[in-house]
Chain A
């Protein structure tokens, strides 16, 4: 899951080297935390959260395939 988020985010931000994703699991829920350079926040959120929603949709698709619950937090 971490690699999936990294792959997507590194392809759309201006500073791919600053992209960092961590993962923690609690009560069967995987929470992915995404860190990007401050200047790239807009690039991962988008107007009205459209980009963040697209990333979350793909993350959800993979979670469904793996039969787990996952959510993405942008920090």
Chain B
């Protein structure tokens, strides 16, 4: 990670200079430590020393996490965040009481927060970090529900020998259904319709 040292008449000025040098947009994008406070010296004449700070750009996942924390603070919601690296992406877990408001109906608020967190993480950078946001393990529980649903529907399709059309889902949710159906012998699934009303159809293999 790129770390720089900057100086200025005051800590604020040193930070401002460092911000420009790092090419960062605002203080929210950087972390810093103060190495030395400014010393004005005797009567502002002798032995004055500038303030020195060490600064570095925040990692994308940290930027995303900070945004989520600030959003919760403004909404008056208390939650703990935790970042975990999972393969090619980062998962930010938010835990606490009364977090339903962050999830919303069918996880729509959660999806919006995740989308915004990804935008904040990748602002001004060519490399894309992928961020998954989960609140109170909602996504994990939802995935389990979807897998069970897909298995039940496969049994029904086999029994009734008639395809079923599911309710509209997000691409991630549809993916879970498709993966589950793939593991079921003689069953196929595909999606039809346009976003955001795209639905999965489960049927028998021809």
Q: Which residues of A contact B (CB under 8 A)?
A: 3-4, 7-8, 10-12, 14-17, 43, 50-51, 53-55, 57-58, 60-62, 64-65
Which residue of B25, B76, B77, B119 has the most chain A CB atoms within 10 A of its CB atom? B119
| B71, A58: Cβ atoms closer than 8 Å | yes
Does B140 touch A at the CB level, under 8 Å? no
Contact of B104 among A3, A10, A11, A61 (CB under 8 A): A61
Q: What is the interface of chain A mostly: helix, strand, loop, or mixed?
A: helix
Contact of B71 among A8, A16, A17, A64 (CB under 8 A): A8
User: Once bound together, how far apart are the Cα atoms of A51 and B118, in whole Å?
Assistant: 11
| A61, B115: Cβ atoms closer than 8 Å | no
Contact of A65 among B26, B75, B116 (CB under 8 A): B75
Interface hits, B86-128 → A, CB 8 Å = 101-102, 104, 108-109, 111-113, 115-116, 119-120, 123-124
User: Once bound together, how far apart are the Cα atoms of A8 and B120, in whole Å?
Assistant: 8
| A11, B123: Cβ atoms closer than 8 Å | yes
User: Once bound together, how far apart are the Cα atoms of A60 and B105, in whole Å?
Assistant: 12
* Distance between A28 CB and nearest chain B CB, rounded to angstroms: 20
User: Once bound together, how far apart are the Cα atoms of A63 and B101, in whole Å?
Assistant: 10
| A57, B71: Cβ atoms closer than 8 Å | no
